Amino acid sequence: MPDIVLRSNDGADHKISASTARLSRTVASLLQDLEASKGEDAELLIVPIPNVCNCTLKKVLDFCEQQRAFDDLVRASPAAQQPEVTRKTQAWRETYMKVSTDELYHLVMAAHYLDVPGLLGLCTDAMADHIRGKSPSQVRACFGLKPNLSPEEEDDIRRSNLWALS
Amino acid sequence: MDLPEGLLTTILKQLPLQSKIHAQAVCRMFRDVLCNPAQGSSVWDSIHLEDPVFEAASPTALAGWLMQRARGIQLLQYTPGPRFMGRAEEVTTPDMRRKQDIIRDVVLKVAAQLSPEAAIEMDLTFASAETLFGSQEPELPRPHKDGMFTTYWASLAGNLTRLKLSFGHPVGGATISPLSQLTRLQSLSLQLNCWYADVELSLPQLKELEMVAVQHAWITLRSSSRSSGKAG
């Protein structure tokens, strides 16, 4: 299948290979439908991604392309080199995930919508890291959340978990 | 920030126990997922008991809370602190020892109430292999002679799926053959920090691992005395 174009919700086009695009299960499903209706020899396909802006889509596609490159490397590398490939993958992912909380939020929503399992796992891990070990007020400050529980609801939580909150 | 419930469940599920408890008070979106999980939601099915929980909790209150939830727990991870359950006279004050005993009992009681399908993962550090498996030395009083495994953990044999054991030193009189009772074990890690033990003495014990039905086993020998024999 030829390359395809993913179009962000603000109109930016990103040309990628179909095999890379298929790392998104949502896109893979769309491509399957398009292939069924147009045949594999169809001209360049343009797939609109209505829930994702250009900046976030570019970041998602960076992940997909790198993931494919690592997958290819793993297949091509002898067993003795696998630990090194794994180390490189982890190092790249650590750098990739150095994003602001706001960017992380958009990225996790895009990974969820596009259904990219590897990226979704990275993002949910990072979100959990932002919550782990923090007090409720610290979590609210981190994610820009407003306290909206009633005093009765807060009392109820406190009473049910006295052993942990005291 | 507004997250779909399924996504928020995935995120909150990864948190250790105390962070989950705190997260309930963040806002209504978090509370709804944690306090009123949707039918089939798995946010509380994995509970990780680790040091901060034991520091914060009264063991009795923690036990009561856990017992209420025991039926829904599918994965209980238990990671006590360094040298936990070591020999009292070697590593802990009487008060620490008392608290550790209570917490151990809490874990064992909760584990006994889990459904047969639930998995238990344990990461434990001991002063010596004797503490866990007992000793063949006739002069030792019980429970040191029997070992904790024989006394308590055999009842968890069908639930333990991952076991990581670190020992301050392996003891010649101890045997690891009780591990062969762990019928669901998928991952076993043994770490022997042999500061003065003769590594050659412990190798026959490690060979008994062949009796254990494990899919993966990592054995790490970290010894400063491999070449010099007994250095103590």
**CATH code for the domain of A55:** 3.30.710.10
Q: What is the pLDDT of residue B63?
A: 76
Residue A160 lies in a domain: no
Residue-wise pLDDT tens digits, A44-80: 788 899 999 999 999 999 999 999 999 888 888 888 8
Domain of A52 in residue numbering reads as: 4-132
B173 part of contact set with chain A, CB < 8 Å: no
Measure in Å the smallest separation between the Cα of B103 and chain A Cα atoms: 14
Say what percent of chain A tops pLDDT 90: 68
Q: What residues in B contact A158, CB-CB < 8 Å? A: 25
Domain of B19 in residue numbering reads as: 1-41
How many domains are there within chain A?
A: 1
Measure in Å the smallest separation between the Cα of A37 and chain B Cα atoms: 32
Residue B229 lies in a domain: no
Q: CB distance B3–A108 less than 8 Å?
A: yes
Residue A149 lies in a domain: no
Residue B230 lies in a domain: no
Interface of B with A in 40-69 (CB under 8 A): 52-53, 56-58, 61-62, 64-65
pLDDT band at A81 (very low <50, low <70, confident <90, very high): confident
Same-domain pairing of B55 and B124: yes
Residue B77 pLDDT > 90: no
Same-domain pairing of B99 and B29: no
Residue B4 lies in a domain: yes
Average pLDDT over residues B80-84: 55
Instruction: Provide DSSP, A15-70.
Output: EE-HHHHTTSHHHHHHHHHHHHHH-TT-S-EEEE-TT--HHHHHHHHHHHHHHHHH
Residue A148 lies in a domain: no
Same-domain pairing of B2 and B55: no
Q: What is the pLDDT of residue A9?
A: 95
Residue B203 lies in a domain: yes
Q: CB distance A165–B21 less than 8 Å?
A: yes
Residue-wise pLDDT tens digits, B175-232: 556 666 777 877 777 666 654 443 333 444 444 554 443 444 444 444 333 333 332 2
User: Where does residue A5 rank: exposed (0-12), middle (13-18), buried (19+ CB within 10 A)?
Assistant: middle
Same-domain pairing of B4 and B74: no
Same-domain pairing of B150 and B210: yes
Q: What is the pLDDT of residue A125?
A: 96
B31 part of contact set with chain A, CB < 8 Å: yes
Residue A162 lies in a domain: no
Q: What is the pLDDT of residue B227?
A: 35
Same-domain pairing of B25 and B93: no
B110 part of contact set with chain A, CB < 8 Å: no
pLDDT band at A164 (very low <50, low <70, confident <90, very high): confident
Q: What is the pLDDT of residue B228?
A: 33
State the DSSP H helix or E strand holding residue A74, giving kind and residue range, or none if neither: helix A54-76
Residue-wise pLDDT tens digits, B141-154: 554 555 666 666 66
Model pTM score? 0.72
Instruction: Label each residue of chain B as H, E or C.
Output: CCCCHHHHHHHHHCCCHHHHHHHCCCCHHHHHHHHCCCCCCCCCCEEEEEHHHHHHCCHHHHHHHHHHHHHHCCEEEEECCCCCCCCHHHHCCHHHHHHHHHHHHHHHHHHHHCCCCCEEEEEEEEEEHHHHHCCCCCCCCCCCCCHHHHHCHHHHCCCEEEEEEEEEECCCCCCCHHHHHCCCCCEEEEEEEECCCCHHHHHHHHHHHHHCCCCEEEEEEEECCCCCCCCC
Residue B231 lies in a domain: no
- As given in the structure block, the two tokens for residue A79 are 């067993």
Residue A70 lies in a domain: yes
Q: What is the pLDDT of residue A53?
A: 96
Q: What is the pLDDT of residue B216?
A: 44
How many domains are there within chain B?
A: 2
Residue A142 lies in a domain: no
At residue B68, φ and ψ (nearest 5 deg) are -60, -35
Q: CB distance A128–B25 less than 8 Å?
A: no
- Between B137 and B15, whose confidence is greater? B15
Q: What is the pLDDT of residue B230?
A: 33
Q: What is the pLDDT of residue B67?
A: 80
User: Where does residue B158 rank: exposed (0-12), middle (13-18), buried (19+ CB within 10 A)?
Assistant: middle
- As given in the structure block, the two tokens for residue B158 are 């069908």
Residue B232 lies in a domain: no
Q: What is the pLDDT of residue B130?
A: 61
Same-domain pairing of B187 and B151: yes
| ipTM of the predicted assembly exceeds 0.90 | no
